[in-house]
Amino acid sequence: MTIVPAPTVAVLGLGAMGLPMAARLAETLPVRGFDIADARLALAEKEGVVPTPSAQDAATGAQVVLVAVRDSAQLTDLLFGAAGIAEVLTAGAVVVLTSTVGTDGVTDVASALAERGIGLVDAPLSGGPVRARQGDLLIVVGAAPADLEIARPVLEALASTLTVVGERAGDGQALKTVNQLLCGVHIAAAAEALALADRLGLDLERTLEALQAGAAASFMLGNRGPRMLQAWDDEGAEVLSRLDIFVKDMGIVGAAARRVGLPAPLAAAAEQSYLVAQTQGLGEVDDSAVIRISAPTRRS
Protein backbone atom coordinates (compact mmCIF):
# COMPACT_ATOMS: atom_id res chain seq x y z
CA MET A 1 0.00 0.00 0.00
CA THR A 2 1.32 3.43 -0.96
CA ILE A 3 1.63 5.79 1.99
CA VAL A 4 0.84 9.37 1.01
CA PRO A 5 2.92 11.80 3.07
CA ALA A 6 1.09 14.46 5.03
CA PRO A 7 0.94 17.70 3.03
CA THR A 8 2.81 20.75 4.26
CA VAL A 9 0.24 23.45 4.92
CA ALA A 10 0.53 27.24 4.90
CA VAL A 11 -2.14 29.34 6.61
CA LEU A 12 -2.08 32.97 5.49
CA GLY A 13 -3.97 35.18 7.90
CA LEU A 14 -4.09 34.20 11.57
CA GLY A 15 -7.14 36.19 12.56
CA ALA A 16 -10.35 35.08 14.24
CA MET A 17 -10.72 32.06 11.93
CA GLY A 18 -7.20 31.56 10.61
CA LEU A 19 -5.57 31.02 14.00
CA PRO A 20 -7.93 28.31 15.28
CA MET A 21 -7.81 26.57 11.88
CA ALA A 22 -4.01 26.62 11.92
CA ALA A 23 -3.98 25.32 15.48
CA ARG A 24 -6.36 22.52 14.59
CA LEU A 25 -4.28 21.48 11.58
CA ALA A 26 -1.02 21.65 13.54
CA GLU A 27 -2.25 18.77 15.69
CA THR A 28 -1.74 16.35 12.80
CA LEU A 29 0.01 18.19 9.94
CA PRO A 30 3.12 20.36 9.48
CA VAL A 31 1.81 23.94 9.37
CA ARG A 32 3.49 27.26 8.64
CA GLY A 33 1.67 30.50 9.28
CA PHE A 34 1.89 34.18 8.46
CA ASP A 35 0.09 37.27 9.74
CA ILE A 36 0.98 40.94 9.64
CA ALA A 37 0.44 41.12 13.43
CA ASP A 38 3.34 39.82 15.50
CA ALA A 39 0.99 39.04 18.37
CA ARG A 40 -0.99 36.60 16.20
CA LEU A 41 2.24 34.92 15.07
CA ALA A 42 3.24 34.48 18.70
CA LEU A 43 -0.11 32.90 19.55
CA ALA A 44 0.16 30.58 16.55
CA GLU A 45 3.64 29.48 17.58
CA LYS A 46 2.30 28.45 20.98
CA GLU A 47 -0.18 26.21 19.12
CA GLY A 48 2.55 24.39 17.20
CA VAL A 49 2.42 26.51 14.03
CA VAL A 50 5.79 27.52 12.55
CA PRO A 51 5.76 31.33 12.19
CA THR A 52 7.23 32.91 9.03
CA PRO A 53 8.20 36.50 8.21
CA SER A 54 6.16 36.75 4.99
CA ALA A 55 3.37 35.13 3.03
CA GLN A 56 5.86 34.00 0.41
CA ASP A 57 8.03 32.33 3.07
CA ALA A 58 5.00 30.47 4.41
CA ALA A 59 3.86 29.37 0.95
CA THR A 60 7.24 28.24 -0.40
CA GLY A 61 7.21 24.45 -0.65
CA ALA A 62 3.67 24.11 0.70
CA GLN A 63 1.33 21.66 -0.99
CA VAL A 64 -1.80 23.29 0.46
CA VAL A 65 -2.17 27.02 1.13
CA LEU A 66 -5.20 28.21 3.10
CA VAL A 67 -6.08 31.84 2.50
CA ALA A 68 -8.54 34.00 4.38
CA VAL A 69 -9.11 37.37 2.69
CA ARG A 70 -11.82 40.01 2.86
CA ASP A 71 -12.70 40.24 -0.83
CA SER A 72 -11.65 39.27 -4.35
CA ALA A 73 -9.34 42.29 -4.64
CA GLN A 74 -7.34 41.12 -1.62
CA LEU A 75 -7.26 37.60 -3.06
CA THR A 76 -5.84 38.83 -6.36
CA ASP A 77 -3.22 40.95 -4.58
CA LEU A 78 -2.18 38.08 -2.30
CA LEU A 79 -1.74 35.76 -5.26
CA PHE A 80 -0.43 38.02 -8.01
CA GLY A 81 0.59 41.31 -6.38
CA ALA A 82 4.10 42.64 -5.84
CA ALA A 83 4.78 40.01 -3.17
CA GLY A 84 2.28 37.48 -4.51
CA ILE A 85 2.57 33.88 -3.47
CA ALA A 86 1.85 32.50 -6.95
CA GLU A 87 5.49 33.17 -7.80
CA VAL A 88 6.74 30.75 -5.15
CA LEU A 89 4.15 27.98 -5.39
CA THR A 90 5.21 24.83 -7.18
CA ALA A 91 3.16 23.05 -9.82
CA GLY A 92 0.75 20.64 -8.18
CA ALA A 93 0.09 22.82 -5.14
CA VAL A 94 -3.42 24.01 -4.35
CA VAL A 95 -4.75 27.24 -2.90
CA VAL A 96 -7.76 26.75 -0.63
CA LEU A 97 -9.99 29.82 -0.56
CA THR A 98 -11.84 29.75 2.77
CA SER A 99 -13.38 33.22 2.56
CA THR A 100 -16.71 34.41 1.22
CA VAL A 101 -15.74 36.70 -1.66
CA GLY A 102 -18.55 36.04 -4.14
CA THR A 103 -18.39 34.40 -7.53
CA ASP A 104 -17.07 37.48 -9.35
CA GLY A 105 -13.44 37.02 -10.27
CA VAL A 106 -13.00 33.54 -8.81
CA THR A 107 -13.02 31.80 -12.18
CA ASP A 108 -10.43 34.27 -13.52
CA VAL A 109 -8.21 33.60 -10.51
CA ALA A 110 -8.60 29.85 -11.02
CA SER A 111 -7.61 30.18 -14.68
CA ALA A 112 -4.55 32.28 -13.86
CA LEU A 113 -3.41 29.74 -11.27
CA ALA A 114 -4.08 26.83 -13.63
CA GLU A 115 -1.65 28.37 -16.14
CA ARG A 116 1.02 27.88 -13.47
CA GLY A 117 -0.09 24.32 -12.69
CA ILE A 118 -1.69 25.38 -9.40
CA GLY A 119 -5.23 24.43 -8.38
CA LEU A 120 -7.85 26.56 -6.68
CA VAL A 121 -10.13 24.82 -4.19
CA ASP A 122 -13.12 27.07 -3.60
CA ALA A 123 -14.07 26.15 -0.03
CA PRO A 124 -15.94 28.88 1.90
CA LEU A 125 -16.74 27.85 5.43
CA SER A 126 -19.14 28.54 8.27
CA GLY A 127 -19.09 27.87 11.98
CA GLY A 128 -17.04 30.45 13.87
CA PRO A 129 -13.74 30.32 15.77
CA VAL A 130 -14.73 27.80 18.45
CA ARG A 131 -15.95 25.25 15.92
CA ALA A 132 -12.88 25.92 13.76
CA ARG A 133 -10.63 24.88 16.64
CA GLN A 134 -12.71 21.76 17.19
CA GLY A 135 -12.76 20.74 13.51
CA ASP A 136 -16.53 21.20 13.44
CA LEU A 137 -16.95 23.56 10.47
CA LEU A 138 -19.39 23.40 7.58
CA ILE A 139 -17.39 23.63 4.36
CA VAL A 140 -18.85 23.70 0.85
CA VAL A 141 -16.46 22.97 -2.00
CA GLY A 142 -16.22 23.67 -5.69
CA ALA A 143 -13.03 22.18 -7.16
CA ALA A 144 -11.63 19.85 -9.77
CA PRO A 145 -11.47 16.31 -8.33
CA ALA A 146 -7.65 16.13 -8.54
CA ASP A 147 -7.26 19.43 -6.67
CA LEU A 148 -9.80 18.37 -4.06
CA GLU A 149 -7.90 15.17 -3.31
CA ILE A 150 -4.76 17.15 -2.52
CA ALA A 151 -6.66 19.41 -0.16
CA ARG A 152 -8.91 16.72 1.32
CA PRO A 153 -6.74 15.86 4.39
CA VAL A 154 -6.80 19.54 5.35
CA LEU A 155 -10.51 20.03 4.74
CA GLU A 156 -11.48 16.86 6.58
CA ALA A 157 -9.44 17.94 9.59
CA LEU A 158 -11.42 21.17 9.75
CA ALA A 159 -14.93 20.05 8.82
CA SER A 160 -17.60 17.95 10.43
CA THR A 161 -19.66 18.52 7.28
CA LEU A 162 -17.82 18.65 3.97
CA THR A 163 -20.11 19.06 0.97
CA VAL A 164 -18.81 19.01 -2.58
CA VAL A 165 -21.25 21.10 -4.61
CA GLY A 166 -19.46 21.15 -7.97
CA GLU A 167 -16.22 20.70 -9.86
CA ARG A 168 -15.66 24.36 -10.69
CA ALA A 169 -14.09 27.10 -8.64
CA GLY A 170 -17.02 29.43 -7.96
CA ASP A 171 -19.51 26.68 -7.17
CA GLY A 172 -18.59 26.89 -3.49
CA GLN A 173 -18.96 30.67 -3.53
CA ALA A 174 -22.35 30.36 -5.20
CA LEU A 175 -23.72 28.07 -2.50
CA LYS A 176 -22.19 30.17 0.27
CA THR A 177 -23.91 33.22 -1.23
CA VAL A 178 -27.26 31.43 -0.95
CA ASN A 179 -26.36 30.40 2.60
CA GLN A 180 -25.54 33.97 3.58
CA LEU A 181 -28.82 35.25 2.18
CA LEU A 182 -30.66 33.01 4.60
CA CYS A 183 -28.33 33.71 7.53
CA GLY A 184 -28.46 37.47 7.04
CA VAL A 185 -32.25 37.55 6.76
CA HIS A 186 -32.69 35.19 9.73
CA ILE A 187 -30.52 37.32 12.02
CA ALA A 188 -32.26 40.55 11.02
CA ALA A 189 -35.69 38.94 11.47
CA ALA A 190 -34.74 37.53 14.88
CA ALA A 191 -33.59 40.98 15.96
CA GLU A 192 -36.88 42.60 14.96
CA ALA A 193 -38.89 39.85 16.65
CA LEU A 194 -37.05 40.17 19.96
CA ALA A 195 -37.21 43.97 19.81
CA LEU A 196 -40.98 43.70 19.35
CA ALA A 197 -41.25 41.25 22.24
CA ASP A 198 -39.35 43.70 24.43
CA ARG A 199 -41.63 46.59 23.53
CA LEU A 200 -44.69 44.42 24.20
CA GLY A 201 -43.38 43.89 27.71
CA LEU A 202 -42.66 40.17 27.40
CA ASP A 203 -40.03 38.34 29.43
CA LEU A 204 -37.35 37.92 26.76
CA GLU A 205 -35.70 34.80 28.16
CA ARG A 206 -39.07 33.04 28.30
CA THR A 207 -39.91 34.36 24.84
CA LEU A 208 -36.74 32.87 23.41
CA GLU A 209 -37.45 29.53 25.08
CA ALA A 210 -41.01 29.47 23.72
CA LEU A 211 -40.02 30.46 20.19
CA GLN A 212 -37.30 27.85 20.01
CA ALA A 213 -39.80 25.17 20.97
CA GLY A 214 -42.17 25.98 18.12
CA ALA A 215 -42.40 26.46 14.38
CA ALA A 216 -40.61 29.82 14.52
CA ALA A 217 -37.41 28.19 15.74
CA SER A 218 -34.22 28.62 13.73
CA PHE A 219 -30.53 28.13 14.27
CA MET A 220 -29.89 31.86 14.08
CA LEU A 221 -32.62 32.67 16.59
CA GLY A 222 -31.22 30.12 19.02
CA ASN A 223 -27.61 31.14 18.44
CA ARG A 224 -27.94 34.93 18.17
CA GLY A 225 -30.99 35.41 20.40
CA PRO A 226 -29.18 35.23 23.76
CA ARG A 227 -26.41 37.43 22.38
CA MET A 228 -29.00 39.98 21.23
CA LEU A 229 -30.14 40.33 24.81
CA GLN A 230 -26.50 40.90 25.82
CA ALA A 231 -26.09 43.44 23.00
CA TRP A 232 -28.14 45.92 25.03
CA ASP A 233 -25.65 45.79 27.91
CA ASP A 234 -22.91 48.41 28.17
CA GLU A 235 -20.20 45.86 27.40
CA GLY A 236 -22.25 44.20 24.64
CA ALA A 237 -22.05 40.59 23.51
CA GLU A 238 -18.77 38.80 22.96
CA VAL A 239 -17.66 39.38 19.36
CA LEU A 240 -18.02 36.00 17.66
CA SER A 241 -19.05 37.35 14.24
CA ARG A 242 -18.49 41.01 13.39
CA LEU A 243 -21.48 42.90 12.09
CA ASP A 244 -19.55 44.36 9.15
CA ILE A 245 -19.05 40.84 7.81
CA PHE A 246 -22.76 40.79 7.00
CA VAL A 247 -22.49 44.23 5.41
CA LYS A 248 -19.99 42.61 3.03
CA ASP A 249 -21.83 39.33 2.60
CA MET A 250 -25.26 40.85 1.99
CA GLY A 251 -23.61 43.10 -0.57
CA ILE A 252 -22.35 39.94 -2.30
CA VAL A 253 -25.88 38.50 -2.16
CA GLY A 254 -27.38 41.62 -3.70
CA ALA A 255 -24.79 41.75 -6.47
CA ALA A 256 -25.39 38.10 -7.32
CA ALA A 257 -29.16 38.57 -7.44
CA ARG A 258 -28.86 41.60 -9.70
CA ARG A 259 -26.46 39.79 -12.01
CA VAL A 260 -29.01 37.05 -12.68
CA GLY A 261 -32.00 39.41 -12.71
CA LEU A 262 -33.56 38.00 -9.53
CA PRO A 263 -35.65 40.23 -7.24
CA ALA A 264 -34.48 39.75 -3.64
CA PRO A 265 -36.41 42.25 -1.50
CA LEU A 266 -35.88 40.44 1.80
CA ALA A 267 -32.13 40.29 1.26
CA ALA A 268 -32.12 43.99 0.34
CA ALA A 269 -34.01 44.91 3.50
CA ALA A 270 -31.64 42.88 5.66
CA GLU A 271 -28.64 44.50 3.97
CA GLN A 272 -30.03 47.92 4.86
CA SER A 273 -30.35 46.87 8.50
CA TYR A 274 -26.66 46.01 8.68
CA LEU A 275 -25.69 49.18 6.83
CA VAL A 276 -27.69 51.29 9.27
CA ALA A 277 -26.02 49.53 12.19
CA GLN A 278 -22.60 50.12 10.67
CA THR A 279 -23.29 53.85 10.26
CA GLN A 280 -24.18 53.88 13.96
CA GLY A 281 -20.68 52.66 14.82
CA LEU A 282 -21.58 48.99 15.29
CA GLY A 283 -19.53 47.52 12.44
CA GLU A 284 -16.84 46.02 14.66
CA VAL A 285 -19.15 44.60 17.34
CA ASP A 286 -21.00 41.29 17.28
CA ASP A 287 -23.67 41.05 14.60
CA SER A 288 -26.28 40.45 17.30
CA ALA A 289 -26.10 44.20 17.90
CA VAL A 290 -28.28 44.71 14.82
CA ILE A 291 -31.16 44.56 17.33
CA ARG A 292 -30.15 48.03 18.47
CA ILE A 293 -31.34 49.70 15.26
CA SER A 294 -34.91 48.65 16.13
CA ALA A 295 -34.60 49.12 19.88
CA PRO A 296 -31.51 51.07 21.05
CA THR A 297 -32.13 50.07 24.67
CA ARG A 298 -33.90 47.27 26.47
CA ARG A 299 -37.22 48.20 28.03
CA SER A 300 -38.34 45.09 29.92
One-letter amino acid for residue 156 of the chain? E
Give the tens place of pLDDT for each residue, 94-139.
999 999 999 888 989 999 999 999 999 999 999 888 999 999 999 9
Separation between Cα atoms, residue 255 and residue 197, nearest integer Å: 33
Domains (ranges, CATH) in the chain?
9-168 (3.40.50.720), 174-293 (1.10.1040.10)
Separation between Cα atoms, residue 254 and residue 68, nearest integer Å: 22
At residue 141's C-alpha, the angle toward residues 137 and 146, to 5°, is: 125
72 CB burial (10 A radius; 0-12, 13-18, 19+): buried
Separation between Cα atoms, residue 6 and residue 245, nearest integer Å: 33
Separation between Cα atoms, residue 121 and residue 109, nearest integer Å: 11
In the prediction, which pLDDT does 1 show?
42
Q: Which residues are catalytic?
A: 176
Q: Is the pTM of this model over 0.95?
A: no
Which comes out higher in pLDDT, residue 1 or 90?
90
Cα 153 to Cα 29, 48, 54, 67: the distances in Å are 9, 18, 25, 16
